[in-house]
Amino acid sequence: MSDKDVTEVLAPDAQGIARAAALLDSGGLVAVPTETVYGLAARADDADAVARIYAAKGRPGFNPLIVHVRDAAHAALFGDFGDRASALAAGEWPGPLTVVVPLRKEARLADAVTAGLPSVALRAPSHPVMRTLLEQIDFPLAAPSANRSGFISPTTPAHVLASLDGRIDAVIDAGATPAGVESTILRIDEAGGFEELRPGPLDVAALRIRYGGDTGAATPSDTIIAPGQLASHYAPGKPLRLHAKDRAAGEYLIGFGAVEGDCTLSLSGDVTEAAARLYDCLHEAARSERPRIAVAPVPERGVGRAINDRLRRAATPPD
Ligand code: TXA
Ligand code: MG
């Protein structure tokens, strides 16, 4: 952060996007809308700018960042794309898919972006404001979710400001993000198999059918390299009870389908709508005066897998 303590709120129009591009160009931090959640962006080729991301978030240095690019051709400057990764990028980008591929020697990204790993996570987002921004700059953007490390991810500018106001240069206000949970992350191995590192809006079973899953999963990585996968994450700061059918004393209930709550993910039982509302309900629950949170069961179908993944981590107390 340039040493100011005021975070500018920018309109999602040409002027606001140009201002964001200028701030990023000079090494600043700007929270940007994507189709999944708001990201905290900085230029990925500038070590000082990337260090500011880690500082603003309080993020541990072993947790690498996703590099956001315009398209597959842009991504190929930074990662080695084999046939499977190329097919996935061609079919799913722009969209909520992140691929982890070998880092190119010529990539010239700041070391902290990849946390020293020999691989890099890349994605081309589809949000129109983010796409316009990426068209205007000539560098890639490192962007983790725009929240303090370990806390609930942001799907609105208000969520971003709740944890990062005064710690970042600006936020582009494009309203609520449509998908509501972070991108599906796949690690692609040299043989072209892939391993789901994080469930997200894209259904990995459908991807396997479409892109030739018969080769099976990637050889499992021997180290935990997606700390979004740490047992405790997305923490609301209160105990959280899963599979709740009703509200116990002192609980803020997050409902789904037949279980109506203080905040309801989807009355009609639609998992896509539930994903879009998940973090807003968790933010509301965290802000409420009730000391505990309970969440109704959400089915393990489609993006319901990603919802349940986040809820399990939100229910696990930090050590
Ligand atoms: O939808 C999204 O992916 C959002 C938006 C802003 O694009 N971003 C996001 O970033 O969720 P973040 O930093 O909260 O999560 C990125 C995840 C982390 O779990 C990180 O460990 C993993 O990606 N990751 C990054 N580089 C990796 C690598 N080389 N190998 C394995 N995992 C990696
Ligand atoms: Mg995150």
Give distance in angstroms: CA of 249 to centre of ligand 2. 31
Point out the ligand nearest to the CA of residue 127: 1
- Supply the residue whose CA is at minimum distance from atom 3 of ligand 1: 183
- Which residue's CA lies nearest to atom 7 of ligand 1? 39
- Cα 43 to Cα 21: distance, rounded to the nearest angstrom: 10
Ligand nearest to the CA of 199: 1
Sign of the torsion formed by the C-alpha atoms of 303, 305, 308 and 312: negative
Least confident of 8-17, 49-58, 229-238: 229-238
Question: Distance, CA 105 to ligand 1 centroid (Å)?
Answer: 21
Q: Is the pLDDT of residue 58 over 70?
A: yes
H/E stretch holding 134? helix 128-136
The upper half-sphere exposure of residue 43, i.e. CA atoms within 13 Å in the direction of its Cβ, equals: 19
3, pLDDT greater than 60: no
Instruction: Report every protein residue that has its C-beta within 5 angstroms of ion ligand 2.
Output: 145
> Could you give the percent of the chain with pLDDT greater than 70?
92
DSSP conformational letter for 228: G
Residues with CB under 6 A from ligand 1: 34, 36-37, 39, 63-66, 98, 100, 114, 117, 119-121, 143-145, 182-183, 185, 197, 225-228
pLDDT at res. 181: 98
| Token output for 239 | 């105990």
Quick: pLDDT tens for 193-232: 889 999 999 999 999 999 975 545 555 554 544 555 556 6
pTM of the predicted model as reported, rounded to 2 decimal places: 0.94
Give the pLDDT score at 224. 47
Q: What is the pLDDT of residues 265-314, one digit of tens each?
A: 999 999 999 999 999 999 999 999 999 999 999 999 999 999 999 999 99
State the Cα–Cα distance between residues 194 and 211, nearest whole angstrom.
10
Considering only CA atoms, which residue is closest to atom 10 of ligand 1? 144
SS3 (DSSP) at 66: strand
pLDDT tens for 153-177 read 999 999 999 999 999 999 999 999 9
Nearest atom in ligand 1 to the alpha carbon of residue 35 is 1
Closest to 40 in 3D by CA, of 110, 142, 124:
142
